[in-house]
Amino acid sequence: MKSKHIPRATIQRLAVYLQVLEALHGEGVEVISSEALARACEVNPSQIRKDLAYFGEFGVRGVGYYVPNLIDSIKVSLGTDRIWRVALIGVGNLGRSLLRYQGFPKRGFKVVAAFDCDPFKIGEEIAGLEVMCPRRMKENVKDLSIEIGIITTPTDRAQRAANYLVESNIPSILNFSAARIHVPNHVHVEYVDFFHHLYALTFKLNAGEFQGHDSSPN
Amino acid sequence: MKSKHIPRATIQRLAVYLQVLEALHGEGVEVISSEALARACEVNPSQIRKDLAYFGEFGVRGVGYYVPNLIDSIKVSLGTDRIWRVALIGVGNLGRSLLRYQGFPKRGFKVVAAFDCDPFKIGEEIAGLEVMCPRRMKENVKDLSIEIGIITTPTDRAQRAANYLVESNIPSILNFSAARIHVPNHVHVEYVDFFHHLYALTFKLNAGEFQGHDSSPN
State the complex-level ipTM.
0.83
B215 interface with A at CB cutoff 8 Å = yes
- CA pair distance B111, A160, nearest whole angstrom: 31
Instruction: For chain B, give the mean pLDDT.
Output: 86
The Cα–Cα gap between B30 and A36 comes to: 52
| Domains of chain A and any CATH numbers | 8-78 (1.10.10.10), 84-195 (3.40.50.720)
Please report the pLDDT score of residue A5 as a whole number.
66
- Partner-chain residue, chosen from A103, A108, A215, that has the shortest CB–CB distance to B186: A215
Q: Are A193 and B15 in contact (CB under 8 A)?
A: yes
Task: Work out the mean pLDDT of chain A and round it to a whole number.
Answer: 86
Q: Residue A197: its chain B contacts at CB < 8 A?
A: 174, 190-192
Note whether A19 contacts B: Cβ–Cβ < 8 A.
yes
A142-171 average pLDDT score: 94
- Would you tell me which residues 129-158 of chain B have a C-beta closer than 8 angstroms to some C-beta of chain A? 147-148
| Record: contact B40-A180, CB cut-off 8 A | yes
Q: Which of residues 38-77 of A touch B (CB under 8 A)?
A: 40-42, 77
Report residue B161: phi and psi, to 5°: -60, -45
A106 touches chain B (CB under 8 A): no
Instruction: For residue A84, report the phi and psi dihedrals to the nearest 5 degrees.
Output: -100, 135
Look at B58 and A217; give whichever has higher pLDDT: B58
More confident residue, A208 or B18: B18
Contacts of residues A209-217 at CB distance under 8 Å and 24 or more positions apart, as own/partner, are A210/B2, A211/B4, A215/B169, A215/B171, A215/B186, A216/B169, A217/B166, A217/B169, A217/B184, A217/B186
Residue A9 pLDDT > 80, yes or no? no
Q: Are A32 and A64 in contact (CB under 8 A)?
A: yes
Closest to A142 measured CA to CA, from A114, A170, A173: A170
Q: Report, as an integer, the average pLDDT of A145-170.
A: 95
Say if residues B198 and A174 touch (Cβ distance below 8 Å).
yes
Query: Do B80 and B143 form a contact (C-beta atoms < 8 A)?
Result: no
Which strand (E) or helix (H) includes residue A92? none
Cite the annotated binding site of B for NAD(+) by residue number.
Answer: 90-95
Query: What pLDDT does residue B5 have?
Result: 66
More confident residue, B119 or B62: B119
A31-61: b (≥16 Cβ within 10 Å) or e: ebebeebbebbeeeeeebbebbebbebebee
Q: Which residues of A touch B192 (CB under 8 A)?
A: 194, 197
List of chain A residues whose C-beta atoms are within 8 Å of the C-beta of residue B14: 199
Mean pLDDT, residues A9-23 taken together: 87
pLDDT of B88 > 60? The answer is yes
Beta-carbon separation of A12 and B200 below 8 A: yes
pLDDT tens for B173-211 read 999 988 889 999 999 999 888 888 898 898 888 877 544
pLDDT tens figures, A178-207: 888 999 999 999 988 888 889 889 888 887
- Which has the minimum average pLDDT: A146-160, B51-65, B73-87? B51-65
Whether pLDDT at B218 is above 70 = no
Among B9, B171, B192, select the one facing A197 at the smallest CB separation: B192
| Averaged pLDDT, A104-127 | 94
User: Which residues on neighbouring strands pair with residue A188, listed in sequence order?
Assistant: A172
Q: Which residues of B touch A208 (CB under 8 A)?
A: 171
Task: Please state, in angstroms and rounded to a whole number, the distance separating the CA atoms of residues B150 and B52.
Answer: 29
- Given a cut of 70, is residue B1 above it in pLDDT? no
Span of A68-82, A113-127, A153-167, B1-15 with lowest mean pLDDT: B1-15
What residues of A form the annotated binding site for NAD(+)? Answer: 90-95
Q: Average pLDDT in the A26-38 region?
A: 90
Say if CB A131 and CB A116 are below 8 A apart.
Answer: yes
> Which residues in chain A are contacts of B166 at CB distance < 8 A?
217
What is the per-residue pLDDT across A158-183, written as a single tens digit (0 to 9) for each? 999 999 999 999 999 999 988 889 99
**Does the beta-carbon distance from B197 to A210 stay under 8 Å?**
no
Question: In which band, very low, low, confident or very high, does the pLDDT at A127 lie, cut at 50, 70 and 90?
Answer: very high
